[in-house]
Chains A and B, each alone.
Chain A
């Protein structure tokens, strides 16, 4: 396959986990919860997905396990920030420390400490019957693992949900002006918990993708900061699902670029290439991410009966 097709293929593959997690954060922030613990949730989702996939041989079960694991971890975050009103940023950090520790522990207990990584089952690509035969783009776009299709469908679903449905409108109100939403009969607390469930599930799936579709092993650093890159994607994409999609494709591109450059160019130290995604995130933010303007009540705790 020529370089261009290879790049597009890799871009899509590498954008997918970031996209899943970025959408997760979008759902969370639209309900007023800034969750910086995504990296941690992804790690745990990656572990859960890998373990179940390894034990059952079924990557789809792995994905579901990832979702389940993500929800479990995020419920801790949800309880502490929604009900106990802990500071969201602070608690997100706590989750970033807690979740990977649990993941590492479970892995070590089950597999012990060895230099060779355990191998799971890789999810096979699923070609979409008619679409894959479209010349040139058919092979690239429509011969991916189903998770990729899922991610892109979610983008469409999210866009429609927030702009055209009643539930979506009420959802957004919770992140913009929770007190007003409450006076209109919207159950703010319940909505926030639902948002946390969606966020946890999507982030967990994003993590599980890494260990069931991207590679078939689990290692401690597998997430490599993608959770934070996803956060930038939400800012960069200005809290709209189409913007987030573009941002994630951009970051996926840089991720793919650095991998391919490494392969092509043996003389230059590989670390320089690996820096590309992070530096590009910084540049993108500096140029486009001026003065974040997300949902108005994002980051603030909600008090029902305020005196």
Chain B
């Protein structure tokens, strides 16, 4: 098979940090080549270099045999490289059609020739078995459909090489099957695909060859048929990792939180809850599995008092909640690790110290006269203690928290939320985007809290995290609970199906 792309000794530096160092990658025509690696291994950076969004600090790129310099996405597109980003590049306010033709330079004329363009797109879609509804606004279509649009966008611009960045992160199992069908069709038409993922099961299913990245460097390139998931795992991580085995709670304590028939925005499939009932007990972790966008955000925000349900009730520690405001919940020892730490959890321009004591400035420990005088020294001493206890890596506690890495930012939030010995901890994607070390630390800390009697509602799209941590598992799909399962020897296949919408018989 001929080679379509070669990236040679690519290095990309950000200040002192090497996101990519001496990376070598080659892709053949008509193959599915997977880039495998942990979060932070450098996969997205490399692809941004390929797509002209970043300029490499060193190295060369050859496309179709000739050396190229890719200055901008426009140029990448002209060469024939199409990118389907992990976070879709679709304009909400515009329709599917408008998004597909956006930025088009090939057609002549000032006015949009709606008829002709639509015909072209529909023909293209048919060829690759991609279903599209051209006149719907983006805000109204499902995640799977959005991904199809991104693929059409790339094909419409004549892409020969498609890069799919973590394409299955937000898809149900059924939608993943559909995607794989499309990939096979693309291969038939001699298109090449770079498939970026950290999910080994899928990688082994779909790839021809696999290149593993670790800490910004290429580890190895091998044929898919020559390997298995254990090998890949150790190559990805770089050492034999003893799989973690947290002991599961046998019997949860009394209820810390109980949802009774809660509905919120129930007509919406992706941003609402429909008649949800659940319980979280003391000293147990209830894992909420499910692909992002099935009502988990709303669940988290109701149980922490940020929004109030349209119907149904919530009890915290046995008493009925009448007012939904975060203040009351916080006073009632409900802790929250929010899904977007920079938007919801931290004040990025304030210091690490300020963020650690954020909720506690009225307490006598940090202020005199009910807030009239802040005890700065006490705040500082406490922050230094927390920095050590939670292993927060930063230059000083006076540093602005936005300068810390994601993992350390999350630790700041942990320090703040767990020190008060909460009764209920709501953790939403707590380890998303974090490296192995930080992830392990956060999991250990959460288990410790559980063992101290805290009830934890763990919401995560990371299936492995749910399996590892949960004592009980429930599955969310389109705002409803699809089933409840034990966390001890969980029935993985049933849970998977539930995540894809098949209602299970509960235990």
- A/B touching: CB–CB < 8 A: yes
Report B118 CB to chain A, min CB distance, Å.
14
A-contacting 9-mer, from B97-105, B226-234, B294-302? B97-105
**Cα distance A180–B93 in the bound complex, in angstroms:** 13
A184:B73 contact, CB within 8 angstroms: yes
With contacts defined as CB atoms under 8 Å apart, how many contacts are there between chain A and chain B in the complex? 77
A177:B110 contact, CB within 8 angstroms: no
A176:B14 contact, CB within 8 angstroms: no
**Cα distance A194–B109 in the bound complex, in angstroms:** 20
The A-contacting residues of B in range 44-61, CB under 8 angstroms, are: 51, 53-55
**Cα distance A151–B112 in the bound complex, in angstroms:** 25
Report B498 CB to chain A, min CB distance, Å.
33
User: Given the known A-B contacts A173-B103, A180-B91, A305-B54, are A185 and B110 also in contact in the complex, defined by CB atoms under 8 Å?
Assistant: no
User: Residue-by-residue, is B70-102 near A (CB-CB < 8 Å gives 1, otherwise 0)?
Assistant: 001110010000010100011111100010011
B-contacting 9-mer, from A94-102, A161-169, A208-216? A161-169
User: Given the known A-B contacts A165-B112, A183-B83, are A177 and B103 also in contact in the complex, defined by CB atoms under 8 Å?
Assistant: no
A169:B53 contact, CB within 8 angstroms: no
Choose from B55, B73, B101 the contact partner of A185 (Cβ within 8 Å).
B73
Report A180 CB to chain B, min CB distance, Å.
4
A185:B74 contact, CB within 8 angstroms: yes
A172 at the interface (CB under 8 A from B): yes
User: Residue-by-residue, is B103-117 near A (CB-CB < 8 Å gives 1, otherwise 0)?
Assistant: 111010111100000
Q: What is the interface residue range for chain A against chain B? A: 20 to 34
B112:A183 contact, CB within 8 angstroms: no
Chain B residues positioned under 8 Å from A166 (CB to CB)? 101, 104, 107, 109-112
Chain B residues positioned under 8 Å from A172 (CB to CB)? 91, 93-94
Chain A residues positioned under 8 Å from B112 (CB to CB)? 164-166, 169
Chain A residues positioned under 8 Å from B83 (CB to CB)? 183
Chain B residues positioned under 8 Å from A170 (CB to CB)? 102-103
A185:B72 contact, CB within 8 angstroms: yes
Report B94 CB to chain A, min CB distance, Å.
7
**Cα distance A81–B219 in the bound complex, in angstroms:** 43
A179:B89 contact, CB within 8 angstroms: yes
Chain A residues positioned under 8 Å from B153 (CB to CB)? 184
Query: Could you say which of B55, B89, B91, B98 has the most chain A C-beta atoms within 10 Å of its C-beta?
Result: B91
A176:B102 contact, CB within 8 angstroms: no
Chain B residues positioned under 8 Å from A176 (CB to CB)? 91-94
The B-contacting residues of A in range 134-149, CB under 8 angstroms, are: none
Report A88 CB to chain B, min CB distance, Å.
18
B101:A167 contact, CB within 8 angstroms: no
Residue of B nearest to A306 (CB): B53
Report B234 CB to chain A, min CB distance, Å.
30
Residue of A nearest to B108 (CB): A166
Residue of B nearest to A161 (CB): B110
Report A64 CB to chain B, min CB distance, Å.
25
User: Given the known A-B contacts A169-B102, A176-B91, A176-B94, are A164 and B85 also in contact in the complex, defined by CB atoms under 8 Å?
Assistant: no
A167:B93 contact, CB within 8 angstroms: no
Report B443 CB to chain A, min CB distance, Å.
27
A285 at the interface (CB under 8 A from B): no
Report A161 CB to chain B, min CB distance, Å.
9
**Cα distance A296–B92 in the bound complex, in angstroms:** 9
A128 at the interface (CB under 8 A from B): no
Chain B residues positioned under 8 Å from A185 (CB to CB)? 72-74, 77, 103, 105
Report B39 CB to chain A, min CB distance, Å.
15
Report B155 CB to chain A, min CB distance, Å.
14
The B-contacting residues of A in range 252-307, CB under 8 angstroms, are: 295-296, 305, 307
A182 at the interface (CB under 8 A from B): yes
A169:B73 contact, CB within 8 angstroms: no
B110:A184 contact, CB within 8 angstroms: no
User: Given the known A-B contacts A165-B112, A185-B72, A185-B77, are A177 and B54 also in contact in the complex, defined by CB atoms under 8 Å?
Assistant: no
Report A260 CB to chain B, min CB distance, Å.
41
B53:A173 contact, CB within 8 angstroms: no
**Cα distance A269–B14 in the bound complex, in angstroms:** 66
User: Residue-by-residue, is A172-206 near B (CB-CB < 8 Å gives 1, otherwise 0)?
Assistant: 11001101111111110000000000000000000
Residue of B nearest to A166 (CB): B112
Chain A residues positioned under 8 Å from B91 (CB to CB)? 172-173, 176-177, 180, 296
Chain B residues positioned under 8 Å from A184 (CB to CB)? 73-74, 77, 89, 102-103, 153
**Cα distance A305–B48 in the bound complex, in angstroms:** 10
User: Given the known A-B contacts A176-B93, A176-B94, A296-B92, are A181 and B103 also in contact in the complex, defined by CB atoms under 8 Å?
Assistant: yes
Residue of B nearest to A170 (CB): B103
B90:A180 contact, CB within 8 angstroms: yes
Residue of A nearest to B19 (CB): A307
Chain B residues positioned under 8 Å from A164 (CB to CB)? 111-112
**Cα distance A187–B83 in the bound complex, in angstroms:** 17
**Cα distance A166–B153 in the bound complex, in angstroms:** 16
Chain A residues positioned under 8 Å from B109 (CB to CB)? 166
9 A–B contacts from the bound complex (CB under 8 Å): A165-B112, A166-B107, A169-B102, A176-B93, A177-B89, A177-B90, A184-B102, A184-B153, A185-B72
- 7 nearest A-B residue pairs (beta carbon): A185-B74, A184-B103, A180-B89, A183-B73, A176-B91, A177-B91, A186-B103
Interface residues of A (CB under 8 A from B): 164-167, 169-170, 172-173, 176-177, 179-187, 295-296, 305, 307
| Given contact pairs A166-B109, A187-B74, A296-B91, a sample of 12 additional A-B residue pairs in the complex whose CB atoms are under 8 Å apart | A164-B112, A166-B107, A169-B98, A172-B93, A172-B94, A176-B94, A180-B91, A185-B73, A185-B74, A185-B77, A186-B102, A305-B53
Interface residues of B (CB under 8 A from A): 14, 51, 53-55, 72-74, 77, 83, 85, 89-94, 98, 101-105, 107, 109-112, 153
